[in-house]
């Protein structure tokens, strides 16, 4: 496990009418005060990332679909520096994931998916760093090599450049 990552299976109460799931409780994350929430739909085969933030924490939940989430600790002062974690999450078994600043992360969507994420700082383009998802130095293993990328993600620099950006 990577230090600071929190993975929590969420309890859903189901009955003949449908389902209720509590997705956030401040008492569980008292230091997390989110300032912005985002709703994202992804097509099958999309890979978002690999991104890292110097300043903000992400709190996310896959509501529908299925995704593999890869994370790598790039924090030099972390006891898990260099560690890699890959998990698969689905909308069938709701799970919240907290990703702290300095942990690189990417999402591969196996099928059409919907996720929400909340952040504890407002969006800031200066805090949107990243590296090329298939850089061998990153060491992230993805389920597919033929992926759909945004233009930005397709042109992200190698990990070596990202590490230099993080030290500035």
- Residues tagged active-site: 51, 117
Q: Is 84 within 8 Å of 21 (Cβ atoms)? A: no
Token pair in block for residue 102: 């300095």
Residues 6+ apart with CB under 8 A from 116: 23, 37, 38, 39, 40, 60, 61, 63
Q: Is 21 within 8 Å of 61 (Cβ atoms)? A: no
Q: Is 49 within 8 Å of 130 (Cβ atoms)? A: yes
Q: Over the range 115-132, which residues count as b (16 or more CB within 10 Å of their CB) and which as e?
A: bbbbbbbeeeeebebbbb
Beta strands 18-21 and 58-64: pairing type? unpaired
Positive/negative CA dihedral, 123, 44, 133, 86: positive
């Amino acid at each position: 496990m990577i230090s600071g990552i929190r993975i929590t299976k969420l309890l859903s109460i189901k009955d003949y009418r449908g389902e209720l799931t509590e997705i956030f409780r401040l008492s569980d994350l008292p230091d997390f005060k989110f300032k912005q929430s985002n709703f994202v739909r992804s097509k099958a085969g999309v890979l978002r990332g690999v991104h890292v933030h110097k300043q903000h924490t992400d709190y996310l939940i896959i509501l529908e679909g299925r995704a593999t989430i890869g994370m790598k600790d790039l924090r030099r002062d972390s006891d898990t520096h260099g560690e890699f974690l890959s998990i698969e999450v689905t909308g069938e078994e709701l799970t919240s994931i907290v990703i702290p600043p300095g942990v690189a992360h990417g999402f591969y969507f196996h099928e059409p998916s919907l996720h929400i994420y909340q952040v504890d700082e407002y969006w800031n383009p200066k805090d949107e760093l990243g590296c090329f998802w298939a850089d061998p130095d990153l060491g992230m293993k993805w389920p597919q090599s033929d992926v759909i990328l945004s233009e930005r993600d397709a042109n992200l620099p190698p990990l070596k450049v990202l590490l230099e950006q993080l030290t500035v």
